[in-house]
Structure 1
């Protein structure tokens, strides 16, 4: 099952300049044409697959048009990959970060190309025993998150680029400010929601490495699903409250009774709605059991995760409204924002 598509017309990159760079960067590169395809998932940074004969690499660059300050920081993401790869082999091996924008029009980095199965809305054709596999995959998702949170961040380069103290308070304030800056309409629930989030910030003394965009279609599995072999999209990774990571994971871990607009955001209900996959409650309980952490306040983190996701969608919609991107996938993103705000408000209860 192909995991890439032809590069979108508006997101093409200069093949001639890129090939010249690759030949200089990798002296033993085989002779041949550069084939560029694009990973279709995701709505933020742009990700491409580069292939020359049997050589493959993945290129990550910021989205087109103006971007928010400190957002889409390629150098930071490259630093995170470099710090974590020795501890967590699911992290793609980083190759090189290039600040020079003359090659493809922005800075970018190259990393290892991993091959396996990424799940979105359905299992690959001719996959059997899906209920058994669904439970197995659910367990792997929980256990990998627990393993990530167990990495001693103080022993990595992340200790130099993070500020764990006061993490959740800063998060609530920061994402509220981002929403206000990207706002295109007034939603009645937002004021009540943000006030509640500000007044109920949990007090937590523990800080761990968090992925902060942990979801099934950011993970890659072996052909028999016995191992997670890849975890991608580390742009939001940092050091902070581990339960914030669980909250984000649960905002993506859909149930069939979730709002229809959220279920069909990727074109069809996410695969987690199929029989055999953990419920959110089962995911949280296994996490508590494996990590030994108290999850009694997880409702707060899930509420915040829905709000954070709403802000991300609002920022994307703002860029679309302002003509900074012409991607038609974003035309109805305001409806996603409204649905996520309602979902966050419901999660308070």
Structure 2
């Protein structure tokens, strides 16, 4: 199953200019023609596959058009990978960061290309999908998240790049502000949702490295599906509340009995709707057992996770609505925002709505 496509119209890179620059700055890159394709699934940052002969790499850059303040910070993500890769090899090795916007129209970075299987909405055609396989994938996702949260960040750059004290209070107020800046219409109940989150921030003193975009289609698995061999999209990574990371992961963990708009609002339902994948409750309980953490406040973390996801979708829709992107995949994301907001509100009233 091919994982790249020809570069979408309007998102092309200048091949010769980029090739010359990379050959000057990446010692392992050979001479020859640079071939560029695109990874199709991202709805935020743009990711390209670079190849010269047998040499391969991946380039990441922000989306075209204006972007929210502090979002899509390529230098920060590059620095995070420099910090994380040596102690967590599932993260890809970064090669180069450039702030020269004349090359691709924005700052960008280049990292190693990993080979394996990324699961999104379909399994590879040749794969025999069983409940046992789906359970195994669920367990691997739990295992790796617990492993990440167990890393010692004290001697890494993340210790100085992050401010774990007051993390969740800042998150709640920060994402409310992001929503207000990207709002295109009024959604019923948002003020009530905002106040509930502000009033229910759990008191916590623990902080770990958190990926904060931990989901199946950001992970790569070995061909036999027994190991995770890559974890991508470290843009949101910081040091903060590990249960916020767990909540965010569960916000993306879509199940077959979820509301239809949650399942298909961003396209085809993800593979987690297949029989055998852990329920959210099972995932959370498995995480609690392995990590030893108390998960009694997951109602808050799940509410916040769906709200945060709604804001991310709203930011994408804001760019479409204002003509900053012509990608028609985004034309009806406003309905997804409403659905996510309403779902978050329902969880504030009944945690079982979110399958917790």
Q: Give distance in 1, aligned partners of 2:294 and 2:28.
A: 52
Match of 1:16, SS state, is helix
**What is the alpha-carbon root mean square deviation over aligned residues?**
1.0
Cα distance in 1 between the residues matched to 2:281 and 2:100: 47
CA displacement at 1:29 relative to structure 2: 3.1
1:274 aligns to 2:310 (yes or no) = no
Matched with 1:18 is: 18
* Equivalences for residues 285-300 of structure 1 within 5 A: 285-300=285-300
What is the CA-CA distance between 1:146 and the residue it aligns to?
0.2
Measure, in 2, the Cα distance between the counterparts of 1:114 and 1:195: 43
Question: What is the alpha-carbon distance in structure 2 between the residues aligned to residue 30 and residue 322 of structure 1?
Answer: 41
Give the alignment's TM-score, normalised by structure 1.
0.98
Count how many residue pairs are aligned between Structure 1 and Structure 2: 349
- 2:297 is aligned with 1:335: no
Find the counterpart in structure 1 of residue 127 from structure 2.
Answer: 127
The residue aligned with 1:43 is: 43
Q: Does 1:151 align with 2:146?
A: no
CA distance in 2: counterparts of 1:84 and 1:210, whole angstroms? 11
Closer/same/farther in 2, CA of residues 86 and 189 from structure 1, 3 Å limit: same
Q: 1:114–1:230: 8 Å Cα contact kept in structure 2?
A: yes
1:216 matched residue in structure 2? 216
Q: C-alpha separation between the residues in 2 aligned to 1:92 and 1:8?
A: 25
Runs of 4+ in 1 over 2 A off after TM superposition: 26-32
In the alignment, which residue of structure 2 is the partner of 1:200?
200
Hey, what's the Cα distance between the residues in 2 that align with 1:296 and 1:176? 24
Equivalent residues of 1:121, 1:266 under 8 A apart: no
How much does 1:261 deviate?
A: 1.8
CA distance in 1, matches of 2:27, 2:336: 47
Instruction: Provide the residue aligned with 2:320 in structure 1.
Output: 320
CA contact (8 A) 1:48 1:60 kept: yes
> Which consecutive residues of structure 1, in runs of 5 or more, have no partner in the other structure?
none
Q: Is the 8 A contact 1:254 1:270 kept in 2?
A: yes
Distance, in Å, in 2 between the alignment partners of 1:117 and 1:304 is 30
Find the counterpart in structure 1 of residue 304 from structure 2: 304
Structure 2 unmatched runs, 5+: 351-356
1:111-260 matches, within 5 Å, as: 111-260=111-260
Q: Secondary structure at the match of 1:10?
A: coil
Please give the per-residue CA displacement for 1:183-242, whole angstroms capped at 9, x wherever unaligned. Answer: 111111111101000011100100000000100000000000110000000101111000
The answer for the alignment partner of 2:74 in structure 1 is 74
Q: Which residue of 1 aligns with 2:109?
A: 109
Q: Given that residues 23 and 31 in structure 2 are in contact (C-alpha distance below 8 angstroms), is that contact kept between their aligned partners in structure 1? A: no
Residue deviations 1:56-106, cap 9 Å, x none? Answer: 000011111111111100010001001000111110000011111111111
What secondary structure sits across from 1:186 in the alignment? coil
Contact 1:259-1:339 within 8 A present in 2 as well? no
User: Which range is displaced more, 129-138 or 85-94?
Assistant: 129-138
Cα distance in structure 2, aligned partners of 1:129 and 1:52: 35
Residues 286, 18 of structure 1: alpha-carbon distance in 2 compared, 3 angstrom cutoff:
same
Q: Do the aligned partners of 1:316 and 1:330 also contact (CA within 8 Å) in 2?
A: yes
- Once the two structures are overlaid, the 10-residue window that deviates more, 208-217 or 100-109, is 100-109
Note the C-alpha offset of 1:129.
4.8
